[in-house]
């Protein structure tokens, strides 16, 4: 045997253990890798199961400014919306009064900047937006969105958060006569705000302004229901759906704007761990409309599970409008209460919660026993602290306000929103865990200005205004 052949034989014998060791290590590494992958998959599925169990949503309303400042950006609303965005809810229920009169672009600025998610936005020059940090900056402010959830301008993109609105009474201030009265009223207010030495008779001007306000309210109340119905549809489909980014607002178009003409009420269904919950949006400014009423009865009939109602006028309230509206049997709020509340309060309809606005404060209203434990659903929540000027307790005798056996557990003057988590147990019973977060204000000391409010209404400084749990049991 040649020397060369013996050398090759030795080398081949050395290769065998080396290859065997290499393959053994590869097999071990593969097993470890597959084990890690399996653990990741299990953890992912477990986290998805936990996530699917909870449905997280937020409710608030009444974000408008007053008649003198209506054209300015909604700074308080923006501060509140920024915190809501940080809470990262699945969706938002908005209980009306987005504007004072006609300044829809101010409301849409806040929605676009905080909830619309991925589209590049242009803010009003006086609307101060905080930096979101950590972003990759494009070449200029018109840079298109970049990869990895980052857009031009250096701001991280946040997810889209659907906002479901209902019509408030201020969205229905319209018409030539109303326009003329508001124009004249603004002129008079401008004169009052001039230095006193330049105003001939301050008292007569103030009296004139109050007369004009009464005339304005009378004119608004006299608008025919058919016109209100048309206007309501126009606000939701043209001012909201028509002006927000189509990629964002498609959820509302599907729920509302594809329905029959004239409709400004709608419903949608969400799931919490497989339990379906129906959300019903009503137009409380149309208490006598038969189309809405029959539609509502049909919605109740078709769905036997738990339901949450949201609308603008509170059926019960011990605030300013409790005296002004709910003690006047002819008012829209009273007519809405008289027609709808008895249906809300019928336990067979499985209505768990009724959310409204209109009053610029917070109230929880329910039927309770002597220990303040809730005796019967639904619970009524008034949440009108979305930025409008706050109001306090009613000045009339609240014992005279029709409450149908319900009582208010407390009226709190606070800018606030309701944070709600819907969850179920193994028997598919529903639990709503509700926390009201916000900023209390003492009306005797005045309300914070915009700059102060932006500093105060931040996530880490909010107070727990109210905290309660509601339970709904599935019929066996």
Reduced 3-state DSSP string for the chain: CCHHHHHHHHHHHHHHHHHHHHHHHHHHHHHHHHHHHHHHHHHHHHHHHHHHHCEEEEEECCCCCCCCCCCCCCHHHHHHHHHHHHHCCCEEEECCCCCCCCCHHHHHHHHHHHCCCCCCCCCCCCCCCCCCCCCCCCCCCCCCCECCCECCCCCECCCCCCEEECCCHHHHCCCHHHHHHHHHHHHHHHHHCCCHHHCCCHHHHHHHHHHHHHHHHHHHHCCCHHHHHHHHHHHHHHHHCCCCCHHHHHHHHHHHHCCCCCCCCEEEEEEECCEEEEEEECCCCCCCCHHHHHHHHHHHHHCCCCEEEECCCCCCCCEHHHHHCCCCCCCHHHHHHHHHHHHHCCHHHCEEEEEECCCCCEEEEEEECCCCCEEEEEEEEEECCCCCCCCCECCCCHHHCCCCCCEEEEEECEEEEEEEEEEECCCCCEEEEEEEEEEECCHHHCCCCHHHHHHHCCHHHCEEEEEEEEEECCCC
In a domain, 51, yes or no: no
Kindly report whether the peptide bond that precedes residue 398 is cis, defined as omega within 30 degrees of 0. no
Clarify whether residues 208 and 324 are in a common domain: no
Clarify whether residues 336 and 372 are in a common domain: yes
In a domain, 48, yes or no: no
In a domain, 314, yes or no: yes
Domain end call among 102, 130, 157: 157
In a domain, 269, yes or no: yes
Clarify whether residues 266 and 193 are in a common domain: no
Clarify whether residues 81 and 190 are in a common domain: no
In a domain, 43, yes or no: no
| Under 8 Å between Cβ of 416 and 385 | yes
Note the pLDDT of residue 381.
98
Note the pLDDT of residue 211.
86
Clarify whether residues 394 and 447 are in a common domain: yes
In a domain, 170, yes or no: yes
Clarify whether residues 257 and 358 are in a common domain: yes
The CA distance from 355 to 363, in Å, is: 10
Half-sphere exposure of 321 toward its Cβ, with a 13 Å CA cutoff?
24
Count of all residues that appear for the chain in the document: 476
Clarify whether residues 381 and 407 are in a common domain: yes
In a domain, 13, yes or no: no
Split the chain (476 residues) into runs of 10 and give each run's mean pLDDT. Answer: 57 55 66 64 50 85 94 97 97 97 96 81 46 34 33 56 97 91 85 54 72 85 93 96 95 86 94 95 97 97 97 96 92 97 97 98 92 86 97 91 94 98 92 98 96 96 96 84
Clarify whether residues 80 and 97 are in a common domain: yes
Clarify whether residues 426 and 374 are in a common domain: yes
Number of domains in the chain: 3
Clarify whether residues 162 and 193 are in a common domain: no
The CA distance from 367 to 409, in Å, is: 10
> Residue 123 CB: number of other CB atoms within 10 A?
14
Which residue bears the tokens 């930025």? 387
Note the pLDDT of residue 16.
54
The CA distance from 225 to 361, in Å, is: 28
Note the pLDDT of residue 145.
36
CATH of the domain at 325: 3.60.21.10
| Under 8 Å between Cβ of 436 and 362 | yes
The CA distance from 278 to 308, in Å, is: 6
- With a CB cutoff of 8 Å and minimum separation 6, the contacts of 61 are 94, 95, 96, 97, 168, 312, 356, 357, 358, 383, 384, 386
91-125 pLDDT, tens per residue?
999 999 999 999 999 999 999 999 998 544 444 44
Domain end call among 222, 239, 260: 222
Clarify whether residues 151 and 248 are in a common domain: no
Q: What angle do CA 113, 117, 122 make, to 5 degrees?
A: 35
| Under 8 Å between Cβ of 152 and 120 | yes
Whole-structure pTM value: 0.81
In this structure, what are the phi and psi dihedrals at residue 275, rounded to the nearest 5 degrees? -90, 125
- With a CB cutoff of 8 Å and minimum separation 6, the contacts of 410 are 363, 364, 466
The CA distance from 285 to 325, in Å, is: 12
173-190 pLDDT, tens per residue?
999 988 998 888 888 877
Helix 202-221 vs helix 176-192: crossing angle, to nearest 10: 160
Domain of residue 179, residue span = 175-222
Note the pLDDT of residue 65.
95
Say if strands 275-281 and 307-310 run parallel, antiparallel, or are unpaired: parallel
In a domain, 6, yes or no: no
Clarify whether residues 150 and 247 are in a common domain: no
Say if strands 463-472 and 430-440 run parallel, antiparallel, or are unpaired: antiparallel
């Amino acid at each position: 045997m040649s020397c060369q052949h013996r050398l090759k034989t030795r080398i081949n014998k050395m290769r065998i253990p080396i290859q065997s060791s290499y393959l053994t290590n590869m097999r071990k590494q593969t097993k470890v890798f597959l084990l890690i992958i399996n653990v990741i998959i299990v953890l992912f599925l477990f986290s998805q199961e936990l996530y699917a169990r909870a449905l997280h949503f937020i409710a608030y309303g009444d974000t408008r400014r007053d008649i003198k400042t209506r054209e300015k950006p909604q700074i308080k609303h923006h501060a509140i919306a920024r915190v809501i965005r940080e809470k990262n809810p699945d969706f938002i229920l908005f209980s009306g009064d987005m504007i004072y009169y006609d300044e829809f672009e101010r409301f849409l600025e806040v929605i676009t900047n905080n909830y619309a998610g991925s589209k590049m936005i242009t803010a009003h020059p006086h609307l101060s937006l905080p930096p979101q940090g950590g972003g990759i900056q494009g070449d200029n402010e018109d840079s298109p969105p970049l990869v990895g959830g980052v857009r031009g301008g250096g701001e991280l993109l946040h997810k889209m958060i659907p906002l479901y609105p209902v019509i408030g009474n201020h969205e229905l201030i319209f018409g030539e006569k109303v326009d003329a009265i508001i124009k004249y009223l603004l002129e008079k207010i401008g004169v009052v705000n001039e230095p006193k030495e330049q105003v001939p008779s301050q008292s007569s001007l103030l009296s004139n302004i109050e007369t004009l306000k009464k005339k304005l309210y009378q004119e608004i109340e006299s608008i025919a229901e058919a016109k209100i119905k048309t206007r309501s549809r126009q606000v939701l489909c043209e001012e909201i759906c028509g002006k927000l980014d189509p990629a964002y607002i498609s959820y509302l178009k599907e729920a509302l704007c594809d329905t029959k003409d004239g409709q400004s009420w709608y419903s949608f269904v969400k799931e919490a761990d497989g339990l379906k919950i129906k959300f019903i949006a009503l137009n409380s400014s149309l208490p006598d409309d038969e189309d809405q009423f029959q539609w509502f009865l049909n919605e109740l009939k078709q769905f036997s599970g738990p339901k949450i109602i949201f609308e603008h006028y509170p059926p019960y309230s011990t605030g300013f409008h409790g005296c002004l509206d709910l003690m006047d049997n002819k008012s829209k709020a009273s007519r809405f209460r008289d027609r709808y509340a008895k249906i809300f309060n019928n336990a067979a309809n499985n209505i768990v919660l009724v959310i409204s606005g209109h009053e610029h404060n917070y109230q929880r209203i329910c039927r309770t026993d002597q220990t303040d434990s809730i005796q019967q659903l639904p619970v009524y929540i008034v949440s009108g602290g979305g930025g409008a000027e706050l109001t306090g307790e009613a000045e009339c005798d609240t014992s005279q306000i029709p409450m149908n056996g319900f009582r208010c557990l407390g009226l709190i003057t606070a800018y606030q929103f309701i944070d709600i988590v819907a969850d179920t147990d193994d028997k598919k019973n529903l639990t709503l865990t509700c926390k009201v977060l916000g900023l209390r204000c003492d009306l005797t000391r005045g309300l914070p200005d915009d700059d102060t409010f932006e500093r105060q209404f931040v996530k880490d400084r909010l107070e727990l205004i109210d905290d309660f749990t509601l339970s709904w049991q599935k019929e066996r």
